[in-house]
Amino acid sequence: MVVQAIRKATTGQNGVGAFILQCKRLDFHYCDWAGSSKGMNTFLRNSLSKFAAANPAVEITVSPRPSRHPIIKGTYINGREKAICVRNLTKEQILQKAELLRDANGEKLKKVTKPVKSINESVRGVWSPYHDGGIHV
Amino acid sequence: MRRISRSCRPIGHLRVNATRNTPSYVCATCRSQAPSFSTSSIRTDARDRTLGELRKKIWGTDVPPGLENPYGDKSNIEKLVVSKQKAKGKATEAPMKPNKTAATTPSSDYEPATTWDGLEEVGGENRNTTNQFRGFLAPDIVTDTDELTAALHRAMVEVFALKQAGLPLLDVSQTAPGFDSTLDVQIVSSTGGVQLKFGENSSLEQVIQSLAKVVDETAEKEDPTESEENVAADRSEVDPLQTDKIATPVDETIEKGNPTEAEEDIAADRSEEGPLKHAQPVMTYEELFASWDPSWLQISVDDPEIKFAVLKRTLQLTGVRVPDSAMKSARTAQSILSHLVTPPKPRKLIEALEQKEDLLSLPNVSMSGRRVTPIDREKAAGRWKLIEKELESRGLPVTGH
């Protein structure tokens, strides 16, 4: 008897049914001494608790990285990592970067050339009212 | 620019005259600006001639009034003074103007001046002995929390003792801080107001007396009243410690160590007088604070007069200044203490983060005080023991960080 795989009726898509955040961990690295970490240190003092409370699904670690520029490193469930150097940034800018890493999916950045991204792309493309025969009344 | 350079030219002649007596050293900035004046080679006679012509031109006469050289010579008033001094004669001038060498090394023929005419400075040989400045604040600013707490308690007791005695509250800081007679005094707030409870070793009189405007202790002993005699007797055993009043409770641990025979004898002698008298010196700050009613921190200092007196006395005792904004908002002794005792600023970020309750309570946040190394990650994953074992079995060094 030949074993047959169960045919899949649909393809799973994140957010359809359930949404799983792709970012699983954010590492915040700072330096106590260097001036480029000033904004990062302010962020950790003032804004981190609010950010961490708003994102309970993301594990957050804080550790020093002496004599280096401050970075935020995101680890994703696809096994990839993304790191952003936040030297000389203000705490508001660092919060933006942290949100960017949190919202990222961990994939490599790709150039988006097509207007529609789909697992079942249309052969005919996007319908346009100007490229039809027109309606004759 | 053009107008400025033109106006500079006639002033240039005068400027050279005015700055003729300046010292030889010229700073870099002045030197860079100097050429506009210095490049014109003006000889003295030529300069005087130019000046004379200028003055004639200004006044419109051949005989202009005023000085020949208004920028260099002494003024008429100064000349008058010099001529008057000359007229007085050298005989009177010599003793009146003590030269500098005489002032620094007094000689036997020194005669103090009878009038101040012609004297450059007023004061005799013993001038400096009378002017010994003693500051209001403590010479060293107190930073220790326990000492600050004790000082605040002392200030509170003293101020409320003065209030109880009906004396003006600002008398509290009239005298330099001496022996602390308030260690045994309880200050409690009750429904009727603030009450002072005096222990065996203390009394209201004693506290008031310690604040009296008598600095010299011996002066008190010369004609003591009965109560003063008692006070003096009480004080006599702690006399050597008077200069160092707040430090007494701390230093006792040293004294406790191994008492000599003589000390033991003294202790035995004192035991008749009362157990508290020698128990007091061997008291640490913790014991001292425990002996006080904890409600003293809740005593209201809303009355501006009391608040000001307490803050002034605390400032005198500790040298710690409470900011004006804090003064206004402080309502209890506790709030004053919180401003006096400021926790040291954390030197490292992790120390500051570890004080944040909201961050520590979050389950998804973890912090490390040092760099997270690859070995730390392996340990977290539970692989490091295996790696170590494997490295050893292969005879490889276990390195890394």
Domains and CATH numbers, chain A: 23-103 (3.40.30.10)
- Residues of chain A in contact with residue B355, where contact means CB-CB under 8 angstroms, are none
The pairing of beta strand A71-76 with beta strand A59-64: unpaired
Q: Give pLDDT, residue B95.
A: 46
Please answer yes or no on whether B364 and A58 come within 8 Å at the CB atom: yes
Of B292, B261, B267, nearest to B279 by C-alpha is: B267
* Dmax (CA) of chain B: 116
What local confidence, expressed as pLDDT, does residue B31 receive?
60
Residue B255: predicted pLDDT: 42
Nearest to B209 by CA among B243, B162, B170, B246: B162
**HSE, side-chain direction, 13 A CA sphere, residue B181:** 25
Question: Across the interface, do B353 and A44 touch by the CB < 8 Å criterion?
Answer: yes
Instruction: List residues of chain B with CB under 8 Å from any CB of chain A.
Output: 348-350, 352-353, 356, 358-359, 362-372
Q: Which of A16-20, A56-60, B145-149 has the highest mean pLDDT?
A: A56-60
Question: Phi/psi of residue B133, each to 5°?
Answer: -80, 130
Contacts of A72 (CB under 8 A, 6+ apart): A26, A27, A28, A29, A83, A84, A86, A94, A97, A98, A101
Name the average pLDDT for chain A: 92
- Alpha carbon B294 to chain centroid, angstroms: 31
Confidence tier at A109 by pLDDT (50, 70, 90): very high
Instruction: List the one residue out of A1, A50, A68, A57 whose CA is nearest residue A25.
Output: A57
CA gap B43, B56 in Å, rounded: 20
pTM for the complete prediction? 0.46
Nearest to A59 among B359, B364, B369 (CB): B364
- Asked if B349 and A61 come within 8 Å (Cβ–Cβ), the reply is no
In angstroms, rounded to a whole number, what is the distance separating the alpha carbons of residues A73 and A50? 19
Answer yes or no: do A63 and B353 touch at CB < 8 A.
no
Nearest CA distance, A62 vs chain B (angstrom): 5
Taking an 8 Å cut-off on Cβ atoms, the answer to whether B366 and A60 are in contact is yes
The pLDDT of residue A124 is 85
Residue of A nearest to B355 (CA): A45
What Rg value do the Cα atoms of chain B yield, rounded?
38
Tell me: pLDDT of A137 over 80: no
| CA A86 to each of CA A76, B170, B357, B368: distance values in angstroms, whole numbers, following the listed order | 19, 57, 26, 20
Determine the residue among A40, A41, A63 to mutate to test chain B binding: the one whose Cβ has the most chain B Cβ atoms within 10 Å: A63
How many interface pairs between A and B have CB atoms less than 8 angstroms apart? 61
The b-or-e profile of A29-58 (16+ CB within 10 A means b, else e) is: bbbeebebbbbbbebbbeebbebbeebeeb
The residue of chain A with its CA nearest to that of B358 is A49
Nearest to B206 by CA among B222, B230, B223, B177: B230
DSSP B39-51: SS---HHHHHHHH
Is the Cβ pair B353, A45 closer than 8 Å? yes
Q: Is A65's pLDDT higher than 90?
A: yes
Residues of chain B with pLDDT under 70: 1-44, 73, 89-107, 123-132, 214-282
